[in-house]
Amino acid sequence: MRTIDLALKDLRQISRDRRSLLFLIVMPVVFTFFFGLVFTKSPDSSDNRLQVGIVNLDPDGSLSKTLLEMLNSSATVRPVLVEERDGSTMDAKILKGDLAAGLVIPAGYSGSSLNGGDPKLEMIINEETDDGQTVRRALQTTIARVTGITQTALLSSRAYEAANGAFTSTADRQSYLEEAVESASRAWANAPLSLKAVDAAAKTDDPLSVNPYNQFSPGMIVQFAIFGLIQAAMVMVLERKNGAMSRLLTTPMNKAELIGGHILGMFVVFFLQQLILVVFGQLVLKVDYFHSLGGTLLVMVALSLFVASLGLLISTLVKTEDQVVMWAMMAMFIFSALGGAWFSLEMVGKAFSTIGHLMPSAWAIEGYQNIIMRGLGIESVLMPVGIILAYTLAFFGVSIWRFKFE
């Protein structure tokens, strides 16, 4: 009971400080909104394919149209029509990097190809850029497909003539070839067999999986939980400084109850902070924390215990309020920056990701993201929670060893 009374005393002391509301609730909400808005893609920037300038001197040809349709459906390049080949326009844009490459479709390209000719398409590529080889392969692949369509149409016309005799007119032959080109193009667009690589752990069919707040909501929860320990650790430092802790030890309360009361108070502060931010993320930011409510609660409890242990550790290492702020800020920046609160560790190299996963904060974020981004259940957070609790026990052990009852 005395432990609970001490915890309630700490909670009242923290709640009377108006700055607590700012640090624990308002700032994480504002920062989450800010990071989410910054990294939200606008509709105009959603197409990040390499732009290729197209000079089409055969605008009415069936093969030219097929080539442009295939380029439009490419996952690598995006065709941009240019009126003419001009050193002051397309070539200059390629050299500046505004276009990844250029392609000139010559006049009569379709007619010549369907008559057995071999007209040349002109590619203009800046080989000095990183995208040069990528766009070259994409263009060569598409051109090879169009060449294959052309050969298919020619073989089909020859087979028709062998079976039915020669076409009655050049127009009939041209009509047949164009129909054959169209049929072959549809066959390419609707291939009977295709391969697609997907991440089985990701909810690729869920629109929430591309919600930028899926990264920044749990990231800011972890960051500001650590930042919030300024308020909690400050209580114990002030008690030692003003002699309140010494007076508490003259009461029937023993040392274990005193430490337990302070830890319980810190735990409640951090758990309530997370509860508010999780509900806010679910209802306002559409982050699916409730996909596995049990898993989310486990991560919340583990993170609250870890931050409480960190607050206790800091209170054993410092003597003044300024030192509390300094150590808390250092902890926040180290655990946030390396733990993936600001960016996903999946986006960085293997070495940095390995270092990041030495941080308990990285496992807290991973536990949340297993639920909200990967659509997994409570079993997916057991390992992250176990690692966080291992750090918690280690920090508690060092804190108790270092704690001084002045």
Over residues 88-98, the mean pLDDT reads 76
Say what the pLDDT of residue 297 is: 95
Q: Write the CB contacts of 198 (distance below 8 Å, at least 6 apart in sequence).
A: 204
In angstroms, the CA 58 to CA 113 distance is 12
Strand runs labelled E in 16-174? 50-56, 77-81, 101-105, 122-125
Are 338 and 359 in contact by the 8 Å Cβ rule? The answer is: yes
Domain boundaries, the chain: 2-39+215-402, 50-189
pLDDT class of 202 with cuts at 50, 70, 90: very low
Are 108 and 96 in contact by the 8 Å Cβ rule? The answer is: no
Q: Is the pLDDT of residue 45 over 60?
A: no
In this structure, CATH architecture of domain 50-189: 3-Layer(aba) Sandwich (3.40)
What is the SS3 assignment for 50? strand
In angstroms, the CA 149 to CA 181 distance is 6
Q: pTM for this structure?
A: 0.56
Over residues 338-343, the mean pLDDT reads 83
Least confident among 129-138, 187-196, 337-346: 187-196
Are 388 and 304 in contact by the 8 Å Cβ rule? The answer is: no
* Spacing of C-alpha 260 from chain mean position: 39
Are 67 and 41 in contact by the 8 Å Cβ rule? The answer is: no
User: Taking the C-alpha atoms of 293, 294, 295 and 298 in order, what is their torsion angle to the nearest 10 degrees?
Assistant: 120
Are 33 and 280 in contact by the 8 Å Cβ rule? The answer is: no
Are 297 and 371 in contact by the 8 Å Cβ rule? The answer is: no
What is the per-residue pLDDT across 220-247, written as a single tens digit (0 to 9) for each? 888 888 877 776 667 666 666 666 666 6
Say what the pLDDT of residue 44 is: 46
Are 52 and 103 in contact by the 8 Å Cβ rule? The answer is: yes
Residue type, 111: G
Over residues 58-68, the mean pLDDT reads 89
Least confident among 191-195, 229-233, 385-389: 191-195
Q: Strands 77-81 and 101-105: what pairing?
A: unpaired
Q: Is the pLDDT of residue 302 over 90?
A: yes
Helix 255-283 to helix 213-227 angle (10° resolution) is 160
φ/ψ (deg, to 5) at 395: -65, -40
Are 211 and 287 in contact by the 8 Å Cβ rule? The answer is: yes
Say what the pLDDT of residue 48 is: 74
Q: Strands 122-125 and 101-105: what pairing?
A: antiparallel
Report in angstroms the alpha-carbon separations of 368 from 76, 221, 287, 327, 355.
Answer: 33, 10, 10, 26, 19
Q: Is the pLDDT of residue 389 over 90?
A: yes
Torsion over CA: 385, 386, 389, 391 (sign): negative
